Structure 1
């Protein structure tokens, strides 16, 4: 049976967003979920204490999904959690919600592919504004975009940073990604420049901090 055409002037409704809250503090997760429901009572919400749980949840479907990710989890610390999610699903929308909200952390998260950064110290009005922007598919960063934010990593560069964090050497990264070792070294040069580091050890420290 053929579907009835939509009336003129009435576009197809956008699929409802699914929000994954990844934080090991239950009270904060509940407060964040309550704010999400105030904005949209019908929003689909799932809560997780670890990065591994969240990665299993998004393994089958990343469409219309927003992950609100803490930077300090039992199985992940620092920007590594973001890098792992983006390596698994490059198009996944991930926003950081963290008490570690210094400028350098915000800039690094933006460079590594985060869709936004929300401080846990944000008031209700700021939190609601940030969530509404993210639900609309927009980004949210403070300081504002264009005010000294770092140039984002390319998908290949983000994969290389994630591989470095896993302890792989250049030769192993080249094999895994199907690149030459010289190309990996070229990408690392660009990564160092974008993230403001000079050595592989500093890059590892940045990913783990």
Structure 2
């Protein structure tokens, strides 16, 4: 149950909305409309209670399966966030996540699951989840995750990114070694990607053209051995800004 300890990382936006379409920053007293999808009544009720305790003004819907969740989302256009369990009766793998994400692409999904293997977390994010909270996590982590996701960030628990000195699957060098291959300007772009900034924003801050930023992003993807901006922030999730800057300064 949502019982409680731990911290997490928040990363860049990936909910399909432009900055103007995203809601104002969420605070604890904010009105919000959430839906919890879990086929275990006791956990669903406990999670709903934890959400209401953290966000007293929140409206909370409950669904015991994907079909019921989709029906509720079709009926209630005001839902801001879906909290989804991955393992439910009649659901294979990530099918439930994919189904909701496909039908309602503008509603972010925060996975709350007992399956907290880092590979599962990464897979959930790759299928469009905006965050992941283990069921063993504490209320503080849940509150942080909901707040971050509603503010347009991606939330992952500590320990999901490739650790310094760890050789990731596929034979890639440690993330710190790959970051050391970036130029100083590429490092600046990387840091802005981690902050959730769009190419136009990065171009404005660096005083360069959009095409230059796109070229830098392509090189960052190539050098880090990843295929998306989301993977960039996941791979570097456990490295702080000072570490990244220090690695780049050795170039």
For Structure 1 versus Structure 2, the TM-score category normalised by the shorter chain is: 0.5 to 0.7
Of residues 79, 87, 98, the one that matches 1:83 is 98
- 1:107 paired with 2:140, answer no
Structure 1 position 33 matched with structure 2 position 31: no
Q: Aligned residue pairs: how many?
A: 141
> In 1, distance between residues paired with 2:31 and 2:162?
32
Offset of residue 13 of structure 1 = 10
> Which of 60, 64, 74 does residue 49 from structure 1 map onto?
64
TM-score with structure 1 length normalisation?
A: 0.59
Q: Unpaired segments of 5 or more residues in structure 2?
A: 1-23, 169-225, 228-251
Determine which structure has greater relative contact order: mean sequence separation of CA pairs < 8 Å that are 6+ residues apart, divided by chain length. Answer: 2
Runs of 4+ in 1 over 6 A off after TM superposition: 12-15
How far off its partner does 1:50 sit? 0.9
1:16-73 deviations in Å (ceiling 9; x for gaps): 3211100011111111111111121120101111110000011244445211000111
Q: Distance in 2 between matches of 1:123 and 1:13?
A: 22
Q: Secondary structure at the match of 2:157?
A: coil
- Compute the TM-score of the two structures, normalised by the length of structure 2: 0.50
Gaps of 5+ in 1: 1-11, 150-192, 195-209
- Worse overlay, 47-56 or 33-42: 33-42
Residue pair 2:32, 2:57 contacting (<8 A) in 1 also: no
For the 8 Å contact 2:131–2:155, the answer to whether it is kept is yes
1:123 is displaced (CA, Å) by 2.2
